[in-house]
């Protein structure tokens, strides 16, 4: 497999991102203008996450470690939510929070399941 350890190619990442924006657009009933703004906000967040992960892998963030990374990711989440709150209505923000919570739960369950069935774990 070309992308070991679950890594996606840039093309796959872009397709996944577009799918995410499309799902959000439907779920939140975004106007065309909101969709453009939300997409820009999420692109910025995605790029910041990518840079942070790259820095961590290259050891450019001394002392960051797992907790430091978690803290910075939480800060990014808050920054994104603040930016989105300026674009979305209160009702849309409520739906956004539910959308994100459901997505995180689904992803978390997938990771736990993958660990349980990993042949390298001896399970």
Cβ atoms of 29 and 92 closer than 8 Å: yes
- 61 backbone dihedrals φ, ψ, rounded to 5°: -120, 75
pLDDT, one tens digit per residue, over 42-51 is 999 999 988 8
- Tell me the pTM: 0.75
Q: What CA–CA distance (Å, rounded) separates 103 from 100?
A: 5
Phi, psi values for residue 110, rounded to 5°: -65, -40
Whether the predicted pLDDT of 25 surpasses 70: yes
H/E element, 51:
helix 32-57
Determine the longest span between alpha carbons in the chain, in angstroms: 51
Q: Counting Cβ atoms within 10 Å, is residue 73 exposed (0-12), middle (13-18) or buried (19+)?
A: middle
What share of the chain has pLDDT > 70, as a percent? 80
Instruction: Tell me the pLDDT tens digit for each residue of 47-64.
Output: 998 888 888 777 766 556
């Amino acid at each position: 497999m070309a992308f070991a350890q679950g890594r996606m190619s840039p093309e796959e990442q872009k397709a996944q991102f577009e799918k995410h924006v499309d799902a959000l657009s439907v779920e939140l009933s975004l106007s065309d203008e909101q969709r453009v703004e939300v997409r820009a906000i999420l692109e910025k967040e995605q790029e910041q996450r990518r840079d942070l992960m790259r820095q961590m892998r290259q050891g450019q963030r001394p002392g960051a470690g797992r907790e430091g990374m978690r803290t910075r990711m939480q800060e990014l989440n808050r920054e994104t939510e603040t930016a989105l709150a300026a674009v979305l209505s209160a009702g849309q923000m409520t739906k956004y929070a539910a959308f994100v919570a459901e997505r995180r739960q689904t992803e978390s369950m997938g990771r736990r399941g993958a660990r349980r069935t990993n042949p390298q774990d001896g399970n």
